[in-house]
């Protein structure tokens, strides 16, 4: 195994508002304020006003308290530049992407901070094709936001209108069921579904129930403050415990906007994004559905996945961390399956972005078809020891410090050709992520702690 992965993009983008996944931050204490949201709506509206037709934007959100405030600010911005707004209310991010295309909107918006706590929020933009915007378009939006927007305001009958769409959830429910093989049912399967008190709290249990499963729901009582709180894909222990408690056959934990998923077998053992990629690759390859001769993962994907796919004569293409970079690699190589270890799984035959529920349905289809317990069907390889530690910093660039650089070099030398080290800044939080992987877990933990310790000294 090479000591280094293909270099990841620097996740701390040199931009004022946008990070690796839209605009995100602590509400009213960072770049995420009503004023910024309104300017973003005005700027994006101007850029996507193309042609003489009546222009349309769709807006969905998760269940955060601040979603009402950000939504109203965005509506003001879009209508001010002449766009009509369709408001969906709580709905998964992939549903907004799908409905952007379905309703032939000029732009789609999701108000969410994904897996972050309730006090954060964010704005994700989708183009008319339902795909996230490129870096170049985001930079164009930023430029407009700071260069004066008054000249783009409409007056009189040109001002946009806003309308709530009441059946958006039922549209997504039907779409999600469409992705599940018509000859299969989930009858006889007891499934725990944890919706993280987030955007999928209504639609996910309904889809599984309509497909015949016996549902045990968790995280379906949002109060604006409890999104991702000790639940969902970032805290799957609660879901795993419930699986064991009710003797379920399977567990599903979504995050706050339902674009990522972590699963559990009947023993409450975690099934992460890498294992999901392995299972779908095996199944789709067998059924001649897999394109590109393999799947796209990221620099974080476990080497065990790479070895497993090699055994199937399939390849693992690695992209930088971030689902839009995974999608870029998928387009480049003609792949239709890609994803991240964290559970962002993109199945481009169905969706233009990560969709936790649809990924779970593909895994459930294999379980239903094979008649095997999830522990046998979904654990296809033994992952190599991999350790990740996040180090919070307040300011500056700790990775530029000589001591930190020296600790990274020492770690790579210690692991040699039997391991790898990846150190990167997060684009969504003030964190530096330190990851190492190798044959010996004790050694891996030691090198990660050494690097993290060096960063902590500099960041203190």
How far lies 36's CA from each of 53, 85, 147, in Å?
27, 18, 13
Looking at the chain, the whole-number percentage of residues with pLDDT higher than 70 is 97
The yes-or-no verdict on residue 427 having pLDDT over 90 is no
Residues 105-136: tens digit of each pLDDT? 999 999 999 999 999 999 999 999 999 999 89
Mean pLDDT for all residues in the chain? 93
The yes-or-no verdict on residue 284 having pLDDT over 90 is yes
Mean pLDDT, range 221-235, rounded to an integer: 97
- Number of CB atoms found within 10 A of residue 290's CB: 20
- Residue 114 is among the residues annotated as catalytic for this protein: yes
First to last CA, the chain: 34
Mean pLDDT, range 254-270, rounded to an integer: 97
Residue 341 is given by DSSP the state: T
Structural class in CATH, domain 171-377:
alpha beta
CATH for 18-166, options being 3.40.120.10, 3.30.2130.10, 3.30.310.10, 1.10.10.60: 3.40.120.10
Question: 413-424 as b/e, with b when 16 or more CB fall inside 10 Å?
Answer: ebbeeebbbbbb
Query: How do 84-90 and 162-164 pair as beta strands?
Result: parallel
The yes-or-no verdict on residue 208 having pLDDT over 60 is yes
Mean pLDDT, range 250-273, rounded to an integer: 97
d(CA 57, CA 59): 7
Mean pLDDT, range 258-267, rounded to an integer: 97
- Number of CB atoms found within 10 A of residue 331's CB: 13
Query: For position 67, what pLDDT does the model report?
Result: 98
Query: For position 1, what pLDDT does the model report?
Result: 41
Find the catalytic residue in 114, 168, 233, 407: 114
Query: For position 8, what pLDDT does the model report?
Result: 40
How far lies 113's CA from each of 25, 117, 256, 374, in Å?
8, 8, 8, 31
Structure tokens at 90: 């709580």
For 386-459, CATH gives: 3.30.310.50
The β-bridge partners of 336 are none
Give the pTM. Answer: 0.90
**Domain residue spans of the chain:** 18-166, 171-377, 386-459
* Topology agreement, domain 171-377 and domain 386-459: no
Query: For position 395, what pLDDT does the model report?
Result: 72
In this predicted structure, which of 99-108, 122-131, 307-316, 389-398 has the lowest mean pLDDT?
389-398
Query: For position 4, what pLDDT does the model report?
Result: 41
d(CA 10, CA 368): 41
* Residue 151: band (very low, low, confident or very high) from pLDDT cuts 50, 70, 90: confident
Query: For position 14, what pLDDT does the model report?
Result: 60
Mention every residue, 6+ apart, whose C-beta is less than 8 A from residue 408. 421, 423, 451
* Residue 276: band (very low, low, confident or very high) from pLDDT cuts 50, 70, 90: very high
Mean pLDDT, range 356-371, rounded to an integer: 96
Q: Rounding to the nearest 10 degrees, give the CA dihedral for residues 101, 69, 218, 187.
A: -20
């Amino acid at each position: 195994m090479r000591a280094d992965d293909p270099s990841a993009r620097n996740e701390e983008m040199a931009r004022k508002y946008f990070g690796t996944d839209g605009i995100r931050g602590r509400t009213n204490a960072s770049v995420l304020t009503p004023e910024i949201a309104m300017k973003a709506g005005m700027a994006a509206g101007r850029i996507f006003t193309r042609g003489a037709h009546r222009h349309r934007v769709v807006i969905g959100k998760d269940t955060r308290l601040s979603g009402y405030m950000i939504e109203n600010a965005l509506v003001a911005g879009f209508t001010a530049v002449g766009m009509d707004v369709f408001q969906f209310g709580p709905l998964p991010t992939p549903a907004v992407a799908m409905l952007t295309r379905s309703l032939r909107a000029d732009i789609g918006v999701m108000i969410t901070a994904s897996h972050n706590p309730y006090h954060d929020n964010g704005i994700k933009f989708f183009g008319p094709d339902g795909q996230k915007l490129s870096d170049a378009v985001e930079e164009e939006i930023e430029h407009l936001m700071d260069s004066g927007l008054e000249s783009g305001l409409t007056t009189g009958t040109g001002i946009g209108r806003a309308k709530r769409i009441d059946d958006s959830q039922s549209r997504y429910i039907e779409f999600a069921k469409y992705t599940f093989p018509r000859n299969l049912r989930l009858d006889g399967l007891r499934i725990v579904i944890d919706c993280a008190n987030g955007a999928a709290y209504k639609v996910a249990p309904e889809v599984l129930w309509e497909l015949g499963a016996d549902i045990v729901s968790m995280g379906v009582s949002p109060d604006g403050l409890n999104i991702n709180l000790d639940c969902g894909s970032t805290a799957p222990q609660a879901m795993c415990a419930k699986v064991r408690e009710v003797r379920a056959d399977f567990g599903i934990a979504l995050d706050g906007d339902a674009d990522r998923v972590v699963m559990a077998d009947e023993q409450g053992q975690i099934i992460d994004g890498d294992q999901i990629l392995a299972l779908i690759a095996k199944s789709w390859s067998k059924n001649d559905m897999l394109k590109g001769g393999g799947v796209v993962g990221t620099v974080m994907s476990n080497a065990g996945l790479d070895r497993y796919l090699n055994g199937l004569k399939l390849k693992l293409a690695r992209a930088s961390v971030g689902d839009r970079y995974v999608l870029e690699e998928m387009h480049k190589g003609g792949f239709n399956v890609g994803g991240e270890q964290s559970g962002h799984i993109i199945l481009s035959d169905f969706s233009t972005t990560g969709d936790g529920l649809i990924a779970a349905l593909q895994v459930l289809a294999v379980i239903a078809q094979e008649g095997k317990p999830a522990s046998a069907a979904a654990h296809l390889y033994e992952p190599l020891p991999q350790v990740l530690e996040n180090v919070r910093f307040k300011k500056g660039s700790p990775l530029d410090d000589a001591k930190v650089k020296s600790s990274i070099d020492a770690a790579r030398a210690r692991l040699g050709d039997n391991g790898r080290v990846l150190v990167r800044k997060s684009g969504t939080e003030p964190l530096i992520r330190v990851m190492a992987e190798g044959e010996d877990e004790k050694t891996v933990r030691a090198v990660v702690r050494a690097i993290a310790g060096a960063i902590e000294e500099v960041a203190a």
